[in-house]
Amino acid sequence: MSDRPKWRIRSSSGHIAGTRIVTRDPFKLERRREVRHEADGTLSASYSNGVDRFGITHMQLVDRSPGGLGVKTHVRIEPGEMVTICPEGSTVPWVSARAMRCIENDGKFVVGLKYCASAAAA
């Protein structure tokens, strides 16, 4: 049994199948270097600033790219905090990421996560 996350990618028609690329607005400053793909799924995560703030939260996957994830959660995760992501139903942490931005939207927080380099790759 695999501990890999089971993400579903939405097609341009909104159905689950195929891939829909989120298009870039030529008039908007875009900091992302990779194309984002809409995604759907739930994750569990722990977060910490390394000093005095830590916790556990559930996240709803919004989009993904080779460099990170976009998620929604009920908890404010400040930029710079470390997040350890564990796919729903798994007990093994899957990947670490750093929060790059956190924007409040309708009582939830939209968080941009950037994957951290693997210790084995360093």
pLDDT single digits (tens) 17-38: 444 444 555 555 455 566 778 8
What pLDDT is attached to residue 23?
Answer: 53
Alpha-carbon distances of 46 from 36, 58, 59, 67, 97, rounded to whole Å: 24, 9, 10, 19, 10
DSSP-derived letter for residue 118 is P
Look at 43-47, 56-60, 94-98, 117-121 and tell me which has the smallest mean pLDDT.
Answer: 117-121
**Is residue 81 assigned to a domain?**
yes
Evaluate whether residue 29 is within a structural domain: no
Structural domain of residue 43, as residue ranges?
39-117
Any domain includes 111: yes
- Residue 19 belongs to some domain of the structure: no
CB 99: neighbour CB atoms within 10 A? Answer: 22
Q: How many CB atoms lie within 10 A of CB 108?
A: 15
What is the per-residue burial (b if ≥16 Cβ within 10 Å, else e) of 52-85? eeeeebebbbbbbbeebbbbebeeebeeebbbbb
Of 14 and 71, the one with more pLDDT? 71
Q: Does residue 93 form part of some domain?
A: yes
What is the number of structural domains in the chain?
A: 1
For residue range 34-77, list pLDDT tens digits in order. Answer: 677 888 888 999 999 989 999 999 999 999 988 899 999 999 99
Contact residues for 26 (Cβ-Cβ < 8 A; gap 6+):
none
Q: Is 5 a member of any domain?
A: no
Least confidently predicted of 3-7, 69-73, 105-109: 3-7
pLDDT at position 14 is 42
Give the pLDDT of residue 83: 95
Q: Is residue 32 part of a domain?
A: no
Residue 17 lies in a domain: no
Question: By three-state DSSP, how is residue 52 classified?
Answer: coil
Count, residues in the chain: 122
**CATH number of domain containing 100:** 2.40.10.220
